[in-house]
Amino acid sequence: MPRRTATLAAIGTLAVAAALTPSAPALAAPVPAPKPAARAARSAALPVVGPWKATRSYLVSSVFQNQGLATVRALGGSHLWYTGNVVAPDAQLKGWNHVGDPDFSHGYVVEPYQSGAANPTSKMFRVYDAAHGFRSSDFVHRLVPGEAMNNSFAAVSPDGRWLVSGEWETQRRLLITPMPRVNRAAADPARDLPLTGRVVLDRAVRDVQGCDFTTATRLLCSSDDAEGIVDGVVRPLLQIDLAHAPDGRDVAGRVTALGPLPTESACKPDAQHRFETEGIDYDAATGVLRVEVVQPGLCIPLTTVWEFDGRTVDG
C-alpha cells in the first residue's frame, strides 16, 4: 500500500464509496456492513490462520475499498468504512496523496494520510466525528528524526486515548501518539500531533498494512511481507502482545506469526500484479475479524475481504 504513493492517488471513502454504493445512505454515511447471507464464501475448505477460521469472503472494489476498513457503529447501526486508491479532493489539494487502513473508536473514525511531497516532513490523521455528521478535522504530525514518511494504518487503543500507527518496509517498532479529540493532549488540530512513544518489537516485521486492537494488550496486524522475515511466514497475520496497555510511553511488544493470510483467486499473479495484503478490522462487538487481500493479475480491480471467527477452529 504505501509503496504506491507515486502512482495512484489515495482515498477517503466517506464521500466516494458512500456516493457510489447504491445501498449506502447520503454522502456523509459509511458503507453498510454486508449481510451475513451476502456473497458467502465456499463452505468447504475455508482457510484457517492460527486460531482464526475463515467463515466467508466477498469482493469489493480495488479502486475505492482496497486500502482498509473499519466497523463504525453509528447512524443507528453497524457500517463498514472503507478507504481505497482515490483520495478525497480536498485532501489532495492539501498535498496528501495516500490514505491507509482506518479505525473507529469512541465515536470517531480516524484515517492515516501521507504526503506526496518530494521530501515529506509530516503525516496526517483525518478524524471524523460521528456525533456531528461526520465532520472532519485534520491533525498533522511533524516527522521526528529517523521516522519514515509512510502512514500505513491507524489503530486506536480500547480506552480511546492512544493512537498506534506504522511505517513501511522493515521495522522494529510501531508509533504511539495521543488519539486526536479524545486525548486532551491532542484536542487542537492547529497544534502538532506529538510522537510520545513506541511499541518496541522483539523482532522485525515487514510491510505491515494494518493493525487493530483485539484486547487492551493485543494487536492483530496484516503484513504484506513477501520474504517471510517472521518465522518464514509469507504475508502473515501477526499477533503483537504488549507488556501493558498503551499509556503513551514506550512499551514492549512480542511478535508472533499466526500463519499466512489466504491468497485465493481465479487469476494468476504476474510480474506487476501479485496478491497484496491490505487493511484489517476487528469488530469487538461480534468477534469478527476482517482482512483485505487485493487480487492478482487480471483480477486486480477486485479485492477480497476475508471474514474470520476466532471461536470456530476447535469447534
Residues 17-69 pLDDT 10s: 333 233 332 333 455 555 544 444 444 589 999 999 999 999 999 999 999 99
What band does 314 get if pLDDT is binned at 50, 70 and 90? Answer: low
Q: Read off the C-alpha cell for 153.
A: 494504518
What band does 106 get if pLDDT is binned at 50, 70 and 90? Answer: very high
What are the residue boundaries of the structural domains of the chain, listed by start? 2-43+61-256
Task: Say if CB 60 and CB 302 are below 8 A apart.
Answer: yes
Q: Is the pLDDT of residue 101 over 70?
A: yes
Lowest mean pLDDT among 6-15, 31-40, 222-231: 6-15
Tell me 14's DSSP state.
Answer: H
What band does 299 get if pLDDT is binned at 50, 70 and 90? Answer: very high
Q: Read off the C-alpha cell for 149.
A: 514518511
Q: What is the pLDDT of residue 20?
A: 29
Q: What is the pLDDT of residue 92?
A: 93
Q: What is the pLDDT of residue 29?
A: 40
Q: What is the pTM of this model?
A: 0.87
Residue % of the chain over a pLDDT of 70: 85
SS3 236: strand
| CA proximity to 213, closest of 165, 261, 169, 172 | 165
| CA proximity to 163, closest of 88, 111, 85 | 111
What band does 5 get if pLDDT is binned at 50, 70 and 90? Answer: very low
Tens of pLDDT, residue by residue over 160-212, are: 999 999 999 999 999 999 999 999 999 999 999 999 999 999 999 999 999 99
Q: Compute the chain's Rg from CA coordinates.
A: 18
Report d(CA 100, CA 83) in Å as an integer. 7
* Per-chain mean pLDDT for the chain: 88
Q: Is the pLDDT of residue 313 over 70?
A: no
Cβ contacts of 286 within 8 Å, gap of 6 or more: none
Q: Is the pLDDT of residue 311 over 80?
A: no
Tens of pLDDT, residue by residue over 241-268, are: 999 999 999 999 999 999 999 999 999 9
Task: Say if CB 81 and CB 104 are below 8 A apart.
Answer: yes
* Section 94-123 average pLDDT: 97
* Section 308-313 average pLDDT: 80
| CA proximity to 279, closest of 192, 184, 212, 225 | 212
CA 53, distance to chain mean position in Å, is 20
Which amino acid does the sequence have at 210? G
